[in-house]
Amino acid sequence: MQTALGLALLVAIVIAVVVGARYASRRRKRIEEAVILQSQLSDVVAREPQLHGLVITPRARVSGWRKSQVTVEVSGEVPTPELRETVMRIVGAEAWQRRPDVITLDHLFIVPPVRRPSDSVASRG
């Protein structure tokens, strides 16, 4: 009886280790896929001519669940609401093309360009 109990405990431990290793492997693979997607989206933003000079950062995340969706948070500052919509449209379309189940979240701030006092003095003169 004691041998059977010890053997059952050993089998349970092996099963737990195998399940944990499979979970960790799948999680690592999903994180790698998210990093690749994030890199691709960053390249698209960097290549877009109308976004030059803006700091826009797409960040891809995955949760620990097996079939969870990838979430891309787009953060940064843009000068106009129209440019904000353009950024989200570009990033959303590119992300959807690469992964149809992706969710894009808008974390962009609209910060109008600051006019310096020296600019207004120079324009008057």
Q: Which residues pair with 76 in a beta bridge?
A: 56, 108
The structure's pTM equals 0.75
Residue 44, domain member (yes or no): yes
Tell me how many domains the chain contains.
Answer: 1
Q: How many CB atoms lie within 10 A of CB 48?
A: 16
Residue 9, domain member (yes or no): no
Residue 48, domain member (yes or no): yes
CATH of the domain at 98: 3.30.70.1350
Instruction: Residue 84: give the domain boundaries.
Output: 34-124
Could you give the percent of the chain with pLDDT greater than 70?
89
Residue 117, domain member (yes or no): yes
- Contacts made by residues 97-105, CB under 8 angstroms, sequence distance 24+: 98/37, 98/40, 99/37, 99/70, 101/69, 101/70, 102/37, 102/60, 102/69, 102/70, 102/71, 102/72, 103/69, 103/70, 103/71, 103/72, 104/71, 104/72, 104/73, 104/74, 105/71, 105/72, 105/73, 105/74
In the predicted model, what is the mean pLDDT of residues 17-33? 92
Q: In terms of pLDDT, which residue wins out, 82 or 63?
A: 82
Report pLDDT for 53. Answer: 87
